[in-house]
Chains A and B, each alone.
Chain A
Amino acid sequence: MSNTSENPKPSSSSAKMTLKTSDNELFEVEEAVAMKFCTVKQYFEDEKDSDVAARGSTTVIPLPNVHSAVLATLISYGKKLPQSNAVADNHEEEETKKKERKKYEQGLLKNLMPGELLDLISAANYLDFKEGLEFFNQALADHIQNKSVEYVRKFFGIKNDYEPHEEEKYREEYAWAFEGVDED
């Protein structure tokens, strides 16, 4: 019987949870957002079974595989998603929220280094945060899409372990895959 709040805005009535990162930082998060991290949800539900009184800020959920910087970003992304328990918006409000979210997403991706992106994906995978995983996977795919092989190698630091003649032969054999690409 979890406490579902009708209003997504933070208030004293909505339950919060505390998440502890690998570098020992504590994050207080609204339950609605934290529940998007299915790993957290699972942990919370397991805990609940053992102690009915445990609620909100008294429960600290450890996340030894997630660093604070990464968790901060994931939480902030999670907040921008449509909340499942929010009051239904009318069409206009929905549209404004959508536009805001798009702007936020663009800002987020603009300055993201490949390493940071991978951290976010690994963390989202560990937390089983489906929407985050999809978003960041797509962002990663966008860095590969339509880019030359050299660019992708450089960007991600992938070491080419093909022999030059091996690679040439491969490219010739599968010529259909290597044309029409942005050389940048």
Chain B
Amino acid sequence: MDKTVLPIMDKTVLPSDKSIEDRISQLPDEMLISVLSFLTPKEAFRTSVLSHRWKCLCPFLPRSLDFDGLYTMWEIERGKKSLQFERKKFLQWVNDTLKSCRVSTIDEFRVCFQFDDGSKSHVDGWIDFAISKGVKRLELDFTATDPFKDASNFYRFPNERFTSDKTCIKSLTSLTLKYIRVTGELLEHFLSNCPLLERLHVDNSEDLVNLNICGSSLKLKYLHIIHCLKFKSIEINAPNLESFGYVGKKIKLHVHSAPHLLDVRIGSMYAFGSLSSYLYQLESLSLAVHSYTYEGVKFPEFQTLTKLKHLKVTVDASEGSSLLGLIPLIEAAPFLHKFVFELILWEINFPKKARKVKKYPNEHLKEVEIVGFAGRAIDIQLVVYLLESAINLEKIIVNLCAPYVVGIPCPRNIRTTAEYKGAREAAMRLKEKQLTRAEFVIM
């Protein structure tokens, strides 16, 4: 099994089957630390048990601390593990790692697990630690898998720490807070005191009511506010903003200035009005719409969206409805390169009727992706339209998994096997019939 290894640095290795000289432990510290930086923090820590020499490296952990419990959360949700037990273990993991961490600065600190206010003392300590190490990217994702969880019990971000001028948050470039209670005032405080802040993402904070984004030197490039139930108003004056996302109820949305806005994600149609003057400079747009009526979704008249290259539409639809209303939107973007549509299908049996639709050749559309393909009249019609009109189509991906299942560690198809099979067969039939040279992928 062992080949003779040619020596460098005047060392010889015995070509015996039994003994492999332990050369890796003889590499200098910096080289081993550099190798360890390619591992996850957990695995890097595990090497400390290989031998005492490896234990010495333990304090010099990678500069990026990412405690990702996503897989465990899904196991808990499926009833395979207990939240109490796993939470305790997770806390120990983070606390032990931070205790033994000797680096002077860290770039990223991320925790992804379900925590609530009950773990406040721990989480407060983690935030202190991260700030003291000059963290650049801070992400706390405490997504609760139980949708009816009491939002008032969510972890409260420690306002007091930041309102005094002692704490230094000047290094912060990105802040992501999910399922954490943080106020608009605190976010504005961050915006005024973090000169390098480029990215702000807040998800599910019921304490966020108003937000005023303004400042001529604001470096903010990315701002997404998702599902904050009590959110009422936002004013935006952001010279560098490139990506804006809002998903939630109707609010007062005033975009006074966002000259570099390129990408927008919105949860419904009413926001179009407030963003109308920016639609024509967008390169990518992501929308969520409902389609329950027979006519299906209807969009307001658009002038040509000349810059639009990527379009993503998530449709909550019932079976008898029609997705053909998306076509005017696609046609309004003559330079569209990629179109993704996600279908969340609710089955209400309306009579299905084939509809005629005029096709114009679409020269620029190169890539199409359908997530949640059901293989029913509602989506087949749209796919056929796309295949027939996109004459330069290069790739089409038909993903049979439901949209909210995509991306999770242990995907479990929500549909019944019969439905899944039906969708797969329909996709195969489309693949055989298609005339374009496009690559047709079925997932």
Contacts and interface: CB of A to CB of B under 8 A. Distances in A.
A109 to B, nearest CB: 14
A144 interface: yes
Interface size of B as a range: 35 or more
Nearest to B50: A158
Contacts of B159: none
A183 to B, nearest CB: 13
Interface stretch (A11-19, A31-39, A45-53, A121-129): A121-129
Nearest to A121: B31
Interface in A138-175: 138, 140-141, 144-146, 149, 152-153, 155-162, 167, 170-171, 174-175
Interface string B1-43: 0110111110001000001111111010001001110111011
B51 A162 contact: yes
A113 B23 CA distance: 12
B356 interface: no
Contact of B2 (A113, A152, A158): A113
Contacts of A146: 43
B22 A159 contact: yes
B6 A149 contact: no
B17 to A, nearest CB: 12
Contact of B47 (A125, A144, A155): A144
A174 B96 CA distance: 8
Interface stretch (A61-69, A82-90, A96-104): A61-69
A69 B3 CA distance: 13
Contacts, number: 112
A115 to B, nearest CB: 4
Contact of A116 (B5, B34, B40): B5
Question: Which of B21, B38, B40, B52 gathers most chain A CB within 10 Å?
Answer: B38
A60 interface: no
Given A152-B50, A157-B22, A162-B49, A66 B96 contact: no
A144 B45 CA distance: 11
B39 A145 contact: yes
Contacts of B22: 156-159
Given A153-B50, A158-B51, A170-B49, A176 B93 contact: yes
Contacts of B96: 174, 176
A67 B7 contact: yes
A22 interface: yes
Contacts of A113: 2-3, 5
A146 to B, nearest CB: 7
A17 B13 CA distance: 31
Contact of A115 (B5, B47, B49): B5
Contacts of B92: 176
Contact of B24 (A65, A125, A158): A158
Nearest to B31: A125
Contacts of A155: 20
Contact of B51 (A141, A144, A159): A159
A26 interface: no
Contact of B46 (A70, A125, A157, A178): A178
Given A116-B5, A140-B35, A162-B49, 4 more contacts: A140-B24, A152-B47, A157-B22, A158-B22
3 residue pairs, one from A and one from B, having the closest CB atoms: A157-B20, A141-B38, A115-B5
